[in-house]
Amino acid sequence: MTTTPGNTSSDLPGKPPVVDLATWQAAREELLVREKAHTHEGDAIAAARRRLPMVEFDGTVEVVGPDGPVPFLDLFQGRDELVVYQHMWYDGAPHQGQCEGCTTTAWHVKDAVYLNARGVSFAVLTTGPWEEVAAYVEFMGYTQPWYSVRGVEAPVGGEMGYLVSFLRDGDRVFLTYATTGRGNERVNGSLGLLDMTPYGRGEAWEDNPEGRPVIGDVREGYPAESRQACWYWRSDADGRATWGPTSRPVPQWTRPGATPVETLGRDSHQ
């Protein structure tokens, strides 16, 4: 899979101005003041989050996993805390036709060892029928436990697309926190790193300097989808975001012998 242009240019349009190290350091330190304030406000918000009230619910409600129905309590794996991602689901969709943002969020938590070391378990819940879910998990190569919550009421089931935190006290289970939308970005380290780069994420909503090129800009021959949020889900063999018959989930292109998935994407079932 090609993920970088074949020919790089030494005269990039709209690039940052070139200055000496001292001038760069002064500008960097000025921005650092804002960054530190942002970090401290994030700490204050996290402190308030830890002080939120919580809601008790029935932890014996059953979810369906590879071993059949199990009580929700089992997802804690004996630990006191549990974080789940509630993955959206489109019944009957081809594998690469599932939710772009959800699939990417789940991909970025392939190993929960550091959570486990702090007494926190992790799982993915979705409303899909288990037969479809199991095939999808195998196709994607996810390593964390998945469960179907089809027909289960909130807070275990219900609306999907959320990161949710739970607390266990013996056999009692409590909902403590939930977030969605860009709140889910805390899982996606790739977006955080792209935010550090001069060209950013390459998404249409970003505030960029005048003349700054956009990665995947339609002027460079890329499809318009490459500037939308969730461009990172499906691409062709050259790394261009696409929803067409030559697409495949981006993380899978590194697999030996990977080829396009010949079914259509999301548009085939919506």
Asked if 253 and 263 touch (Cβ cutoff 8 Å), the reply is: no
Does residue 269 have a pLDDT over 60? no
CATH level 3 topology of 55-186: Glutaredoxin (3.40.30)
Residue 225: CB atoms within 10 A of its CB come to 21
pLDDT at 23 over 50: yes
Beta carbons of 156 and 61 less than 8 angstroms apart: yes
pLDDT at 253: 84
Residue 225's pLDDT is 55
Taking each continuous run of H as one helix and of E as one strand, the counts in the chain are: 5, 10
- Residue 263 has a pLDDT of 64
Q: What does the pLDDT read at residue 9? A: 54
User: Is the separation of the CB atoms in 86 and 161 below 8 Å?
Assistant: yes
Higher pLDDT, 233 or 52: 52
**Per residue in 152-179, pLDDT tens?**
999 999 999 999 999 999 999 999 999 9
**Does pLDDT of 216 surpass 70?**
no
The amino acid sitting at 269 is: H
Share of the chain above pLDDT 70, in %: 83
pLDDT on residue 179: 97
Give pLDDT tens digits for 228-253. 666 767 787 777 777 666 778 888 88
Classify 163 as helix, strand or coil: strand
Q: What residue spans define the domains of the chain? A: 55-186
SS (H, E, C) 38-96: HHHHHHHHHHHHHCCCCEEECCCCEEEECCEEEEHHHHHCCCCEEEEEEECCCCCCCHH
What's at 134, amino acid-wise?
A
